[in-house]
């Protein structure tokens, strides 16, 4: 995975136009004169209004979805360009990008030379694809670099960018990856298409997203033989179809010619993000069935069963084979480690908090995360709307029930026979990320505002999970970029759990003892009723959730990645005699098209790999093929 594997051709070194523009020159050097080109249009107010504007919020709103999709289809067919408003990206992040790009271009020339193109390379400061000393040049400097996948970043460029610009650009890159995918999914819907040219860890394909950095205009689009100037709207991105997307749509959507003009008095700055297919990839089917979590037989709703006045618990729910649940053991509760996310990023407390994180992962495999930075109002919305969702009438909930042979939807997981014992719970399970893997009959059909809230929660948890994983990498002295690589294009799923009250809680179990196959599980306790228990030193320890916290646990995949240093721990869920319990667990897995195995930086002569390296797809297939009574899939991975 040498970054040189991704190479964008070569270019001869040329002088800086920015430096040239600072000088008082009597005449423009001949290499920049372009007499054979059509003269730039200064302004054409009549045509400006023709550039289409697409509202991203309108594309996901049930009320306006159809009309906005029709507008998107028209924009892609007739223009190949559109402005995107209400795109959902943080405006403060966008403003930071604008400010820091201007600061970067205004660095002293001596500083900028550190980031100049190498001979024969395109990345860095310079101009693109200059192949001879006679070639005409553009009146502009560019700074070009690969941003994703992370491992393809040139080690002498991205990692060496000045702070805070490097961090801001990284954040912007990841946010644009999500936005590009969201736009592409809408384009696929607009053209009634199930195939898009990407793999789950690629950015997108054939799409350019332009951010105008300052107020000076210059972009022009060729439409019906005329050059039409584009007037950027406030807080908008300009999006255009690229050649690859024209190929994928079989020519229905066109890659349109465009150009950039210059101003007589003011500089113009912009940043174009090119979203291309995976370097080693091809088009793949975007049918969500690509990702399949095994199968499960349909079973009755326990929530509905608990509403009835039943004299005895049905035999399928009785679990005399399991240890009796602990009601409470206050002396043990305080032993569950608590990790402060703010402490992990604070210079003053970082070392001590990392040591606590290392201890929690090694000794417990569980911890509670406080000061995690997620909006508390969003978390409260999630809690309220999950309760409302489970309280829908049964006729409504049937729309979201599992299909035969599927796990996603309402039901129970991995029920393989009519004799199998069942948990005293209903679950609602669904894939949430990547966006294209969402089942079309589930996520897009969820009632509003729950669908939008869950989408926002999913994206925020993606960020939080990556932040936790990078801290875990630091704690175990693992190469951070290796951790990023495992979880770029994370496979994320959510399981909402409803545990009805049971008059004989000691006779049933909410969730039988198990470890999680995922890498990281982030649990949100929805109401005040406890029930999670963790096995520690042979005893079941109850977990008492702290206010405004998440409960995080290490899964099997992360045990593999850390080469057994951090363990996936057995846990279970008990039920209450009087009150229902609700929770939502988010499972974070490595990229579905990637691999899982011990991180190379954790392997040495003194520390051999304990697990095999396999494709994530094969890892999950093996998991779903295993027998129900097995606790972990790790044994088949051991060397």
- Could you tell me if residue 623 is inside a domain? no
> Which whole-number Å values give the CA distances from 507 to 45, 70, 91, 320, 635, in the listed order?
76, 56, 53, 7, 31
Do 545 and 425 reside in the same domain of the chain? Answer: yes
Please state the domain count of the chain: 2
Question: What strands, in cross-sheet order, belong to the sheet with 539-542?
Answer: 511-514, 571-573, 532-536, 539-542
Considering the domain architecture, whether residues 83 and 192 belong to the same structural domain is answered as: yes
Q: Is residue 103 very low, low, confident or very high in pLDDT (cuts 50, 70, 90)?
A: very high
Q: Does the structure show a pLDDT above 80 at 376? A: yes
Q: What are the Cα distances from residue 167, in Å, to 93, 163, 345, 433?
A: 11, 7, 14, 24
Residue 325 forms part of a structural domain: no
Same domain, 243 and 360: no
The β-bridge relationship of strands 142-144 and 195-196 is: unpaired
Check: pTM over 0.85? Answer yes or no.
Answer: no
Of the three residues 591, 608, 634, the one that is the final residue of a domain is: 591
Place of tokens 């020339």: 109
**From CA 575, how far away is CA 533, in angstroms rounded?**
11
Most confident listed range (178-182, 204-208, 335-339, 355-359): 355-359
Q: For residue 270, what is the domain's CATH number?
A: 2.60.120.330
Query: How does pLDDT run across 335-360, given as a tens digit for each residue?
Result: 789 999 999 999 999 999 999 999 99
Structure tokens at 392: 């829908």
Q: Is residue 252 in some structural domain?
A: yes
H/E run at residue 270: strand 270-275
At residue 632 the predicted structure's pLDDT band, cuts being 50, 70 and 90, is low
Give the model confidence (pLDDT) of 23-55 as tens digits.
777 677 776 676 666 655 544 444 444 689 999
Mean per-residue pLDDT over the chain, rounded: 84
Residues in the chain: 639
633, exposed or middle or buried, with CB in 10 Å at 0-12, 13-18, 19+? buried
In a shared domain, residues 347 and 267: no
- CA 74 and chain centroid, separation: 29
E-strand stretches of 91-247: 124-126, 142-144, 195-196, 207-212, 219-223, 226-229, 237-241
**Range of 268's domain?**
17-275
Q: 496 with 390: CB under 8 angstroms?
A: yes
One domain, residues 357 and 271: no
- DSSP character for 620? H
120 and 266 fall within a common domain: yes
- Going by their DSSP bridges, the two strands 81-85 and 53-55 should be labelled as parallel
In a domain, 228, yes or no: yes
User: Do 271 and 345 belong to one domain?
Assistant: no
306 located within any domain = no
Residue 542: how many other CB atoms lie within 10 Å: 19
The DSSP-derived string for 525-567 is: E-SS---EEEEETTEEEE--PPTT-EEEEE-HHHHHHTTTSS-
* Domain match, 559 and 457 both: yes
What's the pLDDT tens digit per position in 533-565?
999 988 999 999 999 999 999 999 999 999 999
Mean pLDDT along residues 66-73:
94
């Amino acid at each position: 995975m040498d970054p040189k594997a991704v190479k964008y051709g070569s270019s001869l070194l040329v002088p800086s136009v920015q430096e040239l523009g600072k000088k008082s020159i009597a005449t423009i050097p001949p290499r920049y004169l372009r007499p054979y080109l059509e003269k730039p249009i200064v302004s054409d107010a009549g045509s400006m209004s023709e550039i289409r504007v697409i509202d991203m919020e309108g594309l996901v709103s049930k009320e306006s979805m159809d009309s906005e999709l029709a507008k998107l289809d028209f924009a892609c067919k007739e223009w190949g360009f559109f402005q995107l408003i209400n795109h959902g990206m943080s405006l403060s992040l966008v403003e930071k990008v604008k400010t820091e790009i201007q600061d970067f271009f205004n660095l002293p020339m001596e500083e900028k030379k550190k980031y100049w193109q190498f001979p024969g390379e395109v990345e860095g400061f310079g101009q693109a694809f200059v192949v001879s000393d006679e070639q005409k040049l553009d009146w502009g400097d560019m700074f070009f670099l690969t941003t994703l996948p992370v491992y393809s970043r040139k080690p002498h460029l991205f990692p060496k960018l000045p702070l805070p610009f490097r961090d801001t650009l990284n954040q912007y890159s990841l946010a644009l990856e999500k936005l590009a995918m969201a736009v592409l999914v809408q384009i696929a819907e607009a053209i009634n298409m199930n195939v898009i040219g990407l793999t789950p860890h690629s950015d997108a394909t054939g799409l350019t997203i332009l951010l105008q950095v300052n107020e000076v205009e210059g972009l022009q689009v060729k439409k019906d033989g005329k050059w039409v100037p584009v007037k950027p709207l406030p807080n908008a991105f300009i999006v255009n179809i690229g050649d690859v997307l024209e190929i994928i749509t079989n020519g229905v959507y066109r890659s349109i010619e465009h150009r950039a003009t210059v101003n007589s008095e003011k500089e113009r700055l912009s940043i174009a993000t090119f979203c291309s297919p995976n370097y080693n990839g091809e088009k793949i089917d975007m049918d969500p069935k690509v990702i399949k979590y095994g199968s499960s037989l349909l079973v009755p709703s326990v929530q509905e069963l608990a509403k009835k006045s039943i004299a005895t618990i049905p035999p399928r729910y009785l679990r005399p084979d399991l240890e009796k649940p602990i009601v409470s053991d206050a002396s043990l509760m305080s032993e569950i480690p608590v990790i402060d996310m703010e402490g992990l990023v604070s210079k003053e407390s970082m070392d001590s908090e990392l040591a606590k994180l290392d201890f929690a992962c090694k000794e417990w495999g569980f911890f509670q995360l406080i000061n995690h930075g997620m909006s508390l109002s969003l978390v409260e919305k999630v809690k309220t709307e999950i309760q409302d969702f489970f309280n829908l009438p049964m006729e409504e909930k049937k729309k979201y029930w599992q299909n035969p042979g599927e796990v996603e939807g309402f039901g129970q997981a991995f029920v393989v026979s009519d004799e199998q014992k069942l948990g005293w719970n209903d679950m609602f399970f669904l894939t949430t990320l990547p966006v294209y893997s969402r089942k079309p009959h589930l996520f897009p059909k969820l009632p509003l505002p729950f669908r939008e809230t869950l989408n926002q929660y999913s994206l925020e948890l993606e960020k939080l999970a990556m932040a936790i994983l990078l801290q875990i990498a630091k704690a175990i002295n693992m190469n951070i970029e290796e951790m990023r690589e495992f979880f770029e294009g994370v496979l994320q799923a959510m399981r909402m759990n409803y545990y009805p009250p049971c008059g004989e809680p000691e006779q049933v179990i909410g969730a039988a003892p198990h470890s999680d196959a995922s890498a990281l599980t982030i649990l949100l306790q929805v109401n005040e009723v406890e029930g999670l228990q963790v096995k520690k030193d042979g005893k079941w320890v109850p977990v008492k959730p702290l206010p405004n916290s998440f409960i995080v646990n290490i899964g099997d995949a992360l045990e593999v990645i850390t080469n057994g240093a951090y363990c996936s721990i057995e846990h279970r869920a008990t039920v209450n005699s009087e009150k229902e319990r609700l929770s939502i667990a988010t499972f974070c897995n490595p990229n579905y098209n990637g691999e899982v195995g011990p991180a190379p930086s954790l392997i040495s002569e003194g520390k051999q790999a304990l697990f095999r390296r396999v494709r994530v797809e094969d890892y999950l297939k093996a998991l779903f093929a295993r027998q129900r009574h097995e606790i972990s899939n790790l044994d088949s991975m051991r060397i």
